[in-house]
Structure 1
């Protein structure tokens, strides 16, 4: 009987301690005072998530020291570590910074111009004759009509165009390079993630990213970007990286 009573007391004590540390946190996500809809609010510690409504509002269960992640493809990644003050506040306001717009991929193609401009001399002579016949200046007394007024030098024009096209250099197709793994990390993961979460120095960070990039799984992340998958991948590779460093020191 005493054992059952002690078990019951322990259970209720545990429930009370949980209720004191865990709370339904309510908040609002905005950008420049504009509510953001469909922002993913992820409690990475508790492995739970929710989404903001049309007014930017959300509600999610949290405890002190839980790590909250706010993610939207059009905004920079935002992270918040829950404090006692956050739990005591009636509402939490989170401001997200928009990402700069990226240009679509541009492909520059080569244009092949003719190497030589051909023209019909007989047709040009016919045009010159028609112009001469239509020139009314021949009726002006004393006017010399041996040449066409303001006539064009077709040969000179053709030669100039030919020289212009001849100087045109052929350029190979240029294609904007696709996003690589390091660029994916730079645009989706905050800088302090490597120092605070992975405990890496600046020198270690570069070697660590090289190790990650050599893993075939990094190509999958490029094809199907997902912030949670990317972070889990970095955590896993960090354990491997630390193990390699430890073996090298020994």
Structure 2
């Protein structure tokens, strides 16, 4: 009976301590002094989310060490590990950086015209056709522009057949553009020198190709969390 009572008290105390540390965190999301409305504020640890109002303000329940992510369409994703100072001040200001504008691929091609090789027979044909009558009389020793034009058109047609291959986005670029840089060191507890190797490890998994076909920030983060566990186990086995 005493054991059950002690267990009940312990559980109650633990739940009470959690409820006391969890607070409603208030803040604002801005970019270059402009408020961002409709931005997603996600508490990855607490599995809760909200959006900013017309003034860029938000309120979300959070504990110390919770991971918050701020997502808006035209801005780079920003991450934050909640500190006791954030909880106490409850006046958090998050600055998002606007994504650099991606220009459509521009291919500049310097077309070099190859000399038109004419046989002696073709030269004779041009000479014969140079005296072809036109609506304004006959041109003596003229040039058969139609014949030469066909030659040039054939060369240009071959140039058009060679189309540059559009480069496909790879997993490394996906993580660089959608995942906050400190996510790997703070959330995944990876060393700076391990980041490159870890991304290659993730890229080797066929599941990473599905993320490239349907990019999703939260799905990518969940994938990285799962692969991080595998990565750490692999390191332990190698040591």
Range class of TM-score, shorter chain = 0.7 to 0.9
Does residue 78 (structure 1) correspond to residue 68 (structure 2)? The answer is no
Does residue 174 (structure 1) correspond to residue 183 (structure 2)? The answer is no
Does residue 189 (structure 1) correspond to residue 179 (structure 2)? The answer is yes
2:208 to 218, 230, 236: 218
Indicate the RMSD between aligned Cα atoms, in angstroms: 4.0
CA deviation after TM superposition for structure 1 residue 83, in Å: 1.5
Query: 3-state DSSP class of the match of 2:232?
Result: helix
Unaligned runs of 5+ in 1: 130-150
Q: Is residue 68–residue 79 contact of structure 1 (8 Å, CA) maintained in 2?
A: yes
Unaligned runs of 5+ in 2: 119-125
1:98 aligns with 98
CA deviation after TM superposition for structure 1 residue 199, in Å: 3.2
Alpha-carbon distance between aligned partners in 2 of 1:152 and 1:61, rounded to the nearest angstrom: 92
Aligned residues, how many? 223
Query: 3-state DSSP class of the match of 1:182?
Result: helix
1:247 aligns with 237
Q: Is residue 79–residue 183 contact of structure 2 (8 Å, CA) maintained in 1?
A: no
1:51 aligns with 51
1:127 to 124, 132, 136: 136
Alpha-carbon distance between aligned partners in 2 of 1:214 and 1:6, rounded to the nearest angstrom: 50
Question: 1:18-167 counterparts in 2 under 5 A?
Answer: 18-104=18-104, 122-124=132-134, 126-128=135-137, 155=143
Query: 3-state DSSP class of the match of 2:143?
Result: helix
